[in-house]
Amino acid sequence: MAKRETSEGEHEWRRLMPEETLEHLRAARKEWRESVEGMLPPKFVEHRKAARREMLLAARSWIDHALSRIEE
């Protein structure tokens, strides 16, 4: 079981965890999300994705504004 390289600031426990374990955790997370989404109405999932997109766009706008103020 090979350990993967970690980036600076990554949690220590993740650095110590074998890649195979992380792959299983990622697969479990994916299956969990799909099972939860299967219980929710499709419109809810659609609106949740749209809301997430809008939040990311707001964050991008805020970052762009901060960068422009730094450049001034």
Tens of each residue's pLDDT in the chain, 72 residues: 455 555 665 677 777 888 999 999 999 999 999 998 899 999 998 999 999 999 999 999 999 999 999 998
Q: Are residues 18 and 31 in the same domain?
A: yes
Q: Are residues 1 and 35 in the same domain?
A: yes
Residue 10 one-letter amino acid: E
Q: Are residues 27 and 59 in the same domain?
A: no
Any idea which residue has 């955790």 for tokens? 25
Q: Are residues 35 and 7 in the same domain?
A: yes
Q: Are residues 35 and 1 in the same domain?
A: yes
Q: Are residues 45 and 12 in the same domain?
A: no
Domain count, the chain: 2
- The neighbour count for residue 64, using CB atoms within 10 Å, is 10
